[in-house]
Structure 1
Amino acid sequence: MSIDIETFPVLETDRLVLRKVIKEDAHSIFKYLSDEEVMRYYGLEPFQTVDDALSEISWYETIQNSKTGIRWGITLKGEGEVIGSCGFHNTVSQHYRAEIGFELSKEYWGKGIASEAIKAMISFGFEQINLNRIEALIEQQNFPSQKLVEKQGFIREGLLRSYEFTRGKFDDLYMYSLLKKDFIIF
């Protein structure tokens, strides 16, 4: 099992279109990834230039080309601007699992947009690429993301102490998971 797709999948929900991020989206991505609040738990410093956004887009292409992940740009239906992104990375093919990641422009927080996008992405993961386990690694202080994944049925399994070194410090991360069998019931 790998994320082996011939044509980039576009996912649609009631309000959203999740689509491939392209170089022309760099200014939109820079707009929200240069915001300190958005980047607080992202693991990177706030972006300083559009070139930082182009590097991020390049990473999206790299994980897709290596079949270890996929990242969608989140857009509102009828509008082309990318307001966030979500996707899978760190795929472990032989174990049918992947991590999720997501972020959203601050002006769209609290409107159910991230929840709607993640639900579509999770469905794709279980139904189209045959994942059995989806993981989310979330910092202890990132309560909104914890609440978001718990709303989708994720279970907190434990604390990974000093799991990542980001932004000059070691971070403890909660490990959350959602299993295919639980999603079907959920």
Structure 2
Amino acid sequence: MSIKAMGNCGLVRVSKEHNNGELGYFIHPDYWNTGLATEACQALVEFGFKNLGLERIHGKCMATNIGSKRVMEKSGLIVEGLARHEVLKWGTYEDVWHLGTIRSEWLNRKS
């Protein structure tokens, strides 16, 4: 029997001081466009607000990673800005989308 990892996800860099957490995930390319990333991220957002009592959840992705940006948007995060040339990757500066949501926005969308 061969076991293949589908990916991982979690709330990373959770700050008790500021009551927020960053959404982080990786999905193996064999599972892209299956809805798994969105399902996992939606569950994490709900867990962060309901179980951890966070006030804010945020995430970021390379501007070229349209799929990842869409996963976060489907999970309730809203584009807050584009940081130009935020990352130097393999000798090229990359722009990075920053997305986030706060508890009251999430609750309003749930109703």
Tell me if both proteins adopt one fold, taking TM over 0.5 as the criterion. Answer: yes
Change (3 A) 1:130 1:158: same
> What is the CA–CA distance in structure 2 between the aligned matches of 1:173 and 1:140, rounded to whole Å?
5
Which consecutive residues of structure 1, in runs of 5 or more, have no partner in the other structure?
A: 1-27, 29-79
User: What's the offset of the Cα at 1:170?
Assistant: 3.0
- Counterparts of 1:133-172 in structure 2 under 5 Å? 133-172=56-95
Q: Provide the secondary structure at the position in 1 that maps to 2:49.
A: helix
Which consecutive residues of structure 2, in runs of 5 or more, have no partner in the other structure?
A: none
> What is the CA–CA distance in structure 2 between the aligned matches of 1:156 and 1:92, rounded to whole Å?
21
- Counterparts of 1:24-39 in structure 2 under 5 Å? none
- Counterparts of 1:35-184 in structure 2 under 5 Å? 81-184=4-107
User: What's the offset of the Cα at 1:81?
Assistant: 4.6
* Higher deviation after alignment, 137-146 or 86-95: 86-95
> What is the CA–CA distance in structure 2 between the aligned matches of 1:165 and 1:132, rounded to whole Å?
31
| Alignment-mate amino acid for residue 126 of structure 1 | F
The structure with the greater share of residues assigned to helix is 1
User: What's the offset of the Cα at 1:165?
Assistant: 3.1
Change (3 A) 1:162 1:91: farther
| CA deviations over 1:68-117 (Å, ceiling 9, x no partner) | xxxxxxxxxxxx75310011222232211111111111121111111111
> What is the CA–CA distance in structure 1 between the aligned matches of 2:87 and 2:16, rounded to whole Å?
22
Change (3 A) 1:166 1:98: farther
- Normalising to structure 1: TM-score of the pair? 0.53
The structure with the greater share of residues assigned to strand is 2
Flag the structure with more relative contact order, 1 or 2, with Cα contacts below 8 A and sequence separation at least 6: 2
How many residues align? The count is 108
